[in-house]
Chains A and B, each alone.
Chain A
């Protein structure tokens, strides 16, 4: 069956002006509804006609979803806040620079001007078999084309694969996990707030989604508490093209060092699995130790335990080991380098 590319299928466009209206429409439409934030992921799907929703709910007219607000316990970022706004926001740059660093490495300036934080954390997998419309597990089928002896899987998962080996491509997600952010959702049952790491799910839980949002749910805001404000941050993203690409791997850490020892730390990596992984084992192992190369070396080895490479992505194991090592052991150097951590 021929597929006509670059011409979106017909759909009904609804442009609500409030969160309540948007959520109500999404609840009514269920599986037929499609949330349009910045459109950076959506338009690919729609133009390729792989996804053909009956109703598209455009959130761009909802003022409540935009902007960064200071709260008693940190900040609240509306889900429709653009990545550029996040990169440039003075409070974020001053206290939560980890997020600004990660957002600044997302795609290109044009995409960051249009792309939103809600869209960035909720975007779909980039596996080309899936994006091409093949009937893989993630598309509701019964096979993973990438996890075959001849499958092109250089960018795919090395950890926690379960039938599907696609990875989560978000850059801001691990930073938000490291900052202990909370995701605020509006669901048919009311408001629901979850830890950032619990927003993401792997294929063992639901093979067709990367996050917990179900039809009828809407991510409305992300709250970042003050607990990690001003901590030592490290973000590094490795990609094929440094000007514009999805991550092969990225790492984000927030660390508080006291008397030369790691007092508190949160560290997460992404593009290693179908969801960003908080490395709790590493956090426990390095707490109380000096943030040096030796500790980093140990942390790196611990981080990749259980990694299973596919045919073409074994390089990700040493890459992840070294990123974690640098996030911990190289944090002092990283403080003096630009946001990209290089």
Chain B
């Protein structure tokens, strides 16, 4: 089973034309397997969470009841991106599963929305948010090692509580960047092959081989996103993650969850002026 489909171009060269469509099922099954394995692991094998005690714990009363986590702008971006992403996946893959409709138009419109929203996100995250909060730092890597060692029975100190985003979120964000940017860049260039409102068609922009590789990369990124989004939805509905999901809807998480999971030193929030010295002064992102 060749994961790619090949063709002979008019000049006799063998070129890839796109991925083999069975990869849709491979991605869906991979995503499903991850969900099942993770659910079994958490249910039967995972040890209770334990965090390193704070050296200088904050007084809970100093933390607001609703800890601001996502601004309205950030939430709007997330849900616009999610809507366009689902539209892209459904319009891309449903026709291959036998549901026939005018998918190309919806696909490039959704792709354009996604592209614009991602560009907005890059600017917003770079200049109006804590840019580095979503990237793994040294403590994340150290704590990941600690968690693995503790799971296999080694005696090491427990990890610290999380910063704004747990390492899993950060890694997921990285994977989405790779798959998303791959699909967006190739998708924008592929729009030169269809009639859109943006630019005139130019099917000769690249050689057949380059176009073929572009279609392959677009397809691989697309099926990769199937698995990634399945995993994302799964974590979004897991009980212990629901406060995070709710914060993406309402913008805040509860004080209890914040203090239980997050380290105020690593994710300082706006608190009452009398206690700024102990808890930091940065506002929401």
Give A residues with C-beta under 8 Å from B. 1, 134-135, 139-145, 147-149, 161-163, 201, 204-206, 308
Cβ contact within 8 Å between A142 and B100: no
Q: Which of B165-208 contact A (CB under 8 A)?
A: 193-195, 201, 203-204, 208
Cβ of B8 < 8 Å from any Cβ of A? yes
Question: Footprint of A on B, CB under 8 Å?
Answer: 5, 7-10, 12, 15, 17-18, 95, 100-105, 193-195, 201, 203-204, 208, 211-212, 215
- Asked if A204 and B203 sit within 8 Å, CB to CB, the answer is no
When the two chains form the complex, which single residue of A134, A149, A204 contacts B102, counting CB atoms closer than 8 Å? Answer: A204
Given A135-B8, A140-B17, the answer on whether A163 and B193 have CB atoms closer than 8 Å is yes
Q: CB-CB < 8 A to A1: which residues of B?
A: 8, 12
The distance from the CB of A189 to the nearest CB of chain B, in whole angstroms, is: 13
Indicate the member of A135, A139, A149, A163 with the most B CB atoms within 10 Å: A135
**What are 22 A-to-B residue pairs whose CB atoms are below 8 Å?**
A134-B10, A135-B7, A135-B9, A135-B17, A140-B7, A141-B7, A142-B18, A142-B193, A142-B211, A143-B193, A143-B203, A143-B208, A145-B10, A147-B201, A147-B203, A161-B195, A162-B102, A163-B104, A163-B193, A204-B102, A205-B101, A205-B102
- Give Cα A148–Cα B5 distance, bound, in whole angstroms: 23
Inter-chain CA distance A148–B200, complex, in Å, is 11
Residues of A within 8 A of B195 (CB): 161-162, 308
Is there an interface contact between A205 and B100, defined as CB atoms closer than 8 Å?
A: yes
Picked from A141, A149, A163, the residue with its CB within 8 Å of the CB of B17 is A141
| Shortest Cβ distance from B95 into A: residue | A206
Asked whether, in the complex, the Cβ of B211 is within 8 Å of the Cβ of A149, the reply is: no
**A204 & B17 in contact (Cβ 8 Å cutoff):** no
Chain B nearest Cβ from A311, distance in angstroms: 12
* Extra A-B contacts (15), CB below 8 Å, given A135-B9, A140-B5, A204-B102: A135-B7, A135-B8, A135-B17, A139-B7, A141-B7, A142-B17, A142-B211, A142-B212, A143-B193, A148-B203, A161-B195, A163-B194, A204-B103, A205-B101, A206-B100
**B1 smallest CB distance to A (angstroms):** 16
Secondary structure of the A side of the interface? loop
A-B contact count (CB 8 A): 51
Q: How far is A163 from B100 in the complex, measured between Cα atoms in Å?
A: 16
A52 to B: closest C-beta gap in Å: 15
Please tell me if the beta carbons of B215 and A204 are within 8 angstroms of each other in the complex. Answer: no
Q: How far is the CB of B101 from chain A (nearest CB, A)?
A: 7
Inter-chain CA distance A201–B102, complex, in Å, is 10
Which residues of chain B have C-beta atoms less than 8 A from A144's C-beta? 203
Question: In the assembled complex, how far is the CB of residue B212 from the closest CB belonging to chain A, in whole angstroms?
Answer: 7
From A149, which residue of chain B is reached at the shortest CB distance? B204
Are A204 and B204 within 8 A (Cβ)? Answer: no
Q: Report yes or no: A148 in contact with B9, Cβ–Cβ below 8 A.
A: no
Give Cα A147–Cα B203 distance, bound, in whole angstroms. 8
A143 touches B211 (CB 8 A): yes
Residues of A within 8 A of B104 (CB): 162-163, 204
Q: Are B100 and A148 in contact (CB under 8 A)?
A: no
> Given the complex of chains A and B, what is the CA–CA distance between A9 and B45 in angstroms?
59
For B103, list chain A residues within 8 Å (CB).
204
Q: CB-CB < 8 A to A147: which residues of B?
A: 201, 203
Residues in B neighbouring A148, C-beta threshold 8 A:
203-204
A143 to B8, CA, bound (A): 12
- Give the docked Cα–Cα distance between A7 and B37 (Å): 55
**How distant is the Cα of A142 from the Cα of B212 in the complex, in angstroms?**
8
B residues near A162, Cβ cutoff 8 Å: 102, 104, 194-195
- Which residues of chain B come closer than 8 Å to A149, judged between CB atoms? 204
* Measured CA separation A64–B5 after assembly (Å): 41
User: A230 CB to closest chain B CB, in angstroms?
Assistant: 37
Question: CA separation between A145 and B9, bound complex, in Å?
Answer: 11
Chain A residues lying within 8 Å of B211, measured Cβ to Cβ, are 142-143
> B204: which A residues are within 8 A, CB to CB?
148-149
CB distance from B14 to the nearest CB of A (A): 9
Tell me the minimal C-beta distance from A210 to chain B in angstroms: 13
For the complex formed, measure the closest distance between the CB of B108 and the CB atoms of chain A, giving whole angstroms. 11
- Chain A residues positioned under 8 Å from B8 (CB to CB): 1, 135
Q: How far, in whole Å, are A304 and B174 apart by their CA atoms in the complex?
A: 50
Which residues from chain B contact A163 at a C-beta distance below 8 Å? 104, 193-194
Q: Determine the chain A residues whose CB is within 8 A of the CB of B215 once the complex forms.
A: 142
**Residues of chain A with a CB closer than 8 A to B10's CB:** 134, 145
Of the candidates B5, B9, B105, B193, the one whose C-beta lies within 8 Å of that of A204 is B105
Q: How far is the CA of A308 from the CA of B194 in the complex (A)?
A: 14
Chain B residues with CB below 8 A from A145, complex form: 10
A149 to B215, CA, bound (A): 22
With a cutoff of 8 Å between Cβ atoms, the chain A residues found around residue B15 in the complex are 135
Bound-state CA distance A142–B100 (Å) is 18
CB distance from B56 to the nearest CB of A (A): 60
Contacts of B18 in A (CB 8 A): 142
Contacts of A201 in B (CB 8 A): 100
Q: Name the residue of chain A whose CB is nearest to the CB of B218.
A: A142
Task: Tell me the smallest distance from the CB of B55 to a CB of chain A, in Å.
Answer: 59
